[in-house]
Amino acid sequence: MSAILYIKTGNHLSSGGNSFMIYATAVKFEDENSDRTPKAIDSIYLDSTSDETWHFGEGENTTPIKGWYDKHDVYRWLFLNFDKGLVMKVVTGEKPDIKPVGKDKDDPDGYVRSEKNGIVVDNLEMLPDSPSPL
Protein backbone atom coordinates (compact mmCIF):
# COMPACT_ATOMS: atom_id res chain seq x y z
CA MET A 1 0.00 0.00 0.00
CA SER A 2 1.24 3.44 -0.91
CA ALA A 3 2.14 5.99 1.74
CA ILE A 4 0.27 9.30 1.65
CA LEU A 5 2.17 12.47 0.85
CA TYR A 6 1.38 15.69 2.69
CA ILE A 7 2.36 19.33 2.27
CA LYS A 8 3.93 20.66 5.46
CA THR A 9 3.73 24.43 4.92
CA GLY A 10 3.56 27.07 2.26
CA ASN A 11 3.53 26.86 -1.49
CA HIS A 12 5.72 24.21 -3.09
CA LEU A 13 6.86 26.52 -5.86
CA SER A 14 9.43 29.11 -4.83
CA SER A 15 9.69 32.47 -6.56
CA GLY A 16 13.43 32.06 -7.06
CA GLY A 17 13.15 28.82 -9.01
CA ASN A 18 13.15 25.36 -7.51
CA SER A 19 15.45 25.78 -4.53
CA PHE A 20 13.59 23.00 -2.74
CA MET A 21 12.94 19.83 -4.63
CA ILE A 22 12.59 16.07 -4.73
CA TYR A 23 15.20 14.38 -6.92
CA ALA A 24 15.55 10.87 -8.33
CA THR A 25 19.19 9.93 -7.77
CA ALA A 26 19.20 6.18 -8.56
CA VAL A 27 17.04 3.46 -10.12
CA LYS A 28 16.77 -0.30 -9.86
CA PHE A 29 15.49 -2.31 -12.79
CA GLU A 30 13.19 -5.34 -12.59
CA ASP A 31 16.13 -7.65 -13.21
CA GLU A 32 19.68 -7.28 -14.41
CA ASN A 33 18.79 -8.70 -17.83
CA SER A 34 15.86 -6.35 -18.49
CA ASP A 35 16.14 -3.49 -20.91
CA ARG A 36 17.00 -0.18 -19.30
CA THR A 37 13.75 1.56 -20.15
CA PRO A 38 11.35 3.54 -17.95
CA LYS A 39 8.83 0.67 -18.09
CA ALA A 40 11.46 -1.76 -16.75
CA ILE A 41 12.23 0.35 -13.66
CA ASP A 42 11.36 -1.45 -10.43
CA SER A 43 12.14 1.24 -7.85
CA ILE A 44 13.47 4.78 -7.66
CA TYR A 45 15.63 6.35 -4.97
CA LEU A 46 14.20 9.76 -4.09
CA ASP A 47 15.94 12.38 -2.00
CA SER A 48 14.54 15.75 -0.98
CA THR A 49 16.31 18.94 -0.08
CA SER A 50 16.09 19.96 3.59
CA ASP A 51 13.54 22.71 2.90
CA GLU A 52 11.21 20.56 0.75
CA THR A 53 7.56 20.95 1.79
CA TRP A 54 6.31 17.53 0.65
CA HIS A 55 6.77 14.76 3.23
CA PHE A 56 5.15 11.68 4.78
CA GLY A 57 2.94 11.96 7.85
CA GLU A 58 1.19 14.81 9.61
CA GLY A 59 1.90 17.01 12.60
CA GLU A 60 4.94 16.03 14.62
CA ASN A 61 5.15 12.62 12.94
CA THR A 62 6.58 13.75 9.63
CA THR A 63 9.41 12.12 7.72
CA PRO A 64 11.19 13.50 4.66
CA ILE A 65 11.02 11.84 1.29
CA LYS A 66 14.27 9.89 1.19
CA GLY A 67 14.75 6.29 0.20
CA TRP A 68 13.78 3.61 -2.28
CA TYR A 69 10.18 3.75 -3.53
CA ASP A 70 8.28 1.41 -5.82
CA LYS A 71 7.77 2.90 -9.29
CA HIS A 72 3.99 2.46 -8.94
CA ASP A 73 3.97 4.54 -5.75
CA VAL A 74 5.96 7.32 -7.44
CA TYR A 75 3.60 7.13 -10.44
CA ARG A 76 0.52 7.35 -8.19
CA TRP A 77 1.91 10.26 -6.12
CA LEU A 78 2.68 12.27 -9.26
CA PHE A 79 -0.64 11.36 -10.91
CA LEU A 80 -2.65 12.48 -7.85
CA ASN A 81 -0.60 15.50 -6.78
CA PHE A 82 0.89 17.11 -9.88
CA ASP A 83 -1.89 19.72 -9.99
CA LYS A 84 -1.20 20.45 -6.30
CA GLY A 85 2.40 21.39 -7.07
CA LEU A 86 4.25 18.10 -6.57
CA VAL A 87 7.35 18.15 -8.76
CA MET A 88 10.09 15.53 -8.93
CA LYS A 89 13.19 15.84 -11.07
CA VAL A 90 16.02 13.63 -12.30
CA VAL A 91 19.27 14.78 -10.69
CA THR A 92 21.28 14.46 -13.95
CA GLY A 93 21.79 16.84 -16.84
CA GLU A 94 19.22 19.61 -17.17
CA LYS A 95 17.24 18.09 -14.27
CA PRO A 96 14.12 17.25 -16.28
CA ASP A 97 10.79 16.73 -14.52
CA ILE A 98 9.53 13.21 -13.89
CA LYS A 99 6.09 12.63 -15.41
CA PRO A 100 3.50 9.88 -14.84
CA VAL A 101 2.52 7.87 -17.93
CA GLY A 102 -0.76 5.97 -17.66
CA LYS A 103 -4.56 6.04 -17.84
CA ASP A 104 -5.45 6.66 -14.20
CA LYS A 105 -4.02 6.52 -10.67
CA ASP A 106 -4.54 2.75 -10.43
CA ASP A 107 -3.26 1.80 -13.89
CA PRO A 108 -1.24 -1.41 -13.33
CA ASP A 109 0.83 -0.53 -16.39
CA GLY A 110 1.49 3.03 -15.20
CA TYR A 111 5.11 4.13 -14.96
CA VAL A 112 7.19 7.30 -14.84
CA ARG A 113 9.62 8.79 -17.30
CA SER A 114 11.56 12.00 -17.51
CA GLU A 115 10.36 14.93 -19.56
CA LYS A 116 11.84 14.79 -23.04
CA ASN A 117 14.76 17.17 -23.42
CA GLY A 118 16.36 16.39 -26.76
CA ILE A 119 18.32 13.27 -25.86
CA VAL A 120 17.49 9.80 -27.13
CA VAL A 121 17.75 7.95 -23.81
CA ASP A 122 15.40 8.78 -20.93
CA ASN A 123 17.31 10.54 -18.14
CA LEU A 124 16.01 8.02 -15.57
CA GLU A 125 17.75 5.25 -17.52
CA MET A 126 21.10 6.99 -17.03
CA LEU A 127 20.90 7.03 -13.23
CA PRO A 128 23.18 4.67 -11.31
CA ASP A 129 21.87 1.77 -9.23
CA SER A 130 23.14 3.29 -5.97
CA PRO A 131 22.06 6.68 -4.67
CA SER A 132 24.33 9.69 -4.56
CA PRO A 133 24.03 12.55 -2.06
CA LEU A 134 22.41 15.78 -3.20
Q: Where are the domains of the chain?
A: 5-126
73 contact partners, CB below 8 Å, separation of at least 6 = 2, 3
**Backbone dihedral angles phi then psi of residue 118, each to the nearest 5 degrees:** 90, 0
pLDDT at residue 72 in the model: 94
Q: What is this structure's pTM? A: 0.84
How far CA 47 is from CA of 61, 64, 66, 68, 76, in Å, comes to 18, 8, 4, 9, 17
Q: Which of 85, 23, 86 is nearest to 49 (CA)?
A: 23
pLDDT of residue 2: 54
Q: Give average pLDDT by consecutive 10-residue segment, the chain, 134 residues.
A: 52 47 94 85 93 82 90 93 89 92 92 88 92 84
> pLDDT at position 127, please?
94
Query: Residue 3 has what pLDDT?
Result: 59
Tell me how far CA of residue 46 lies from CA of 6, 89, 103, 104, 118, in angstroms: 16, 9, 24, 22, 24
pLDDT value at position 6? 60
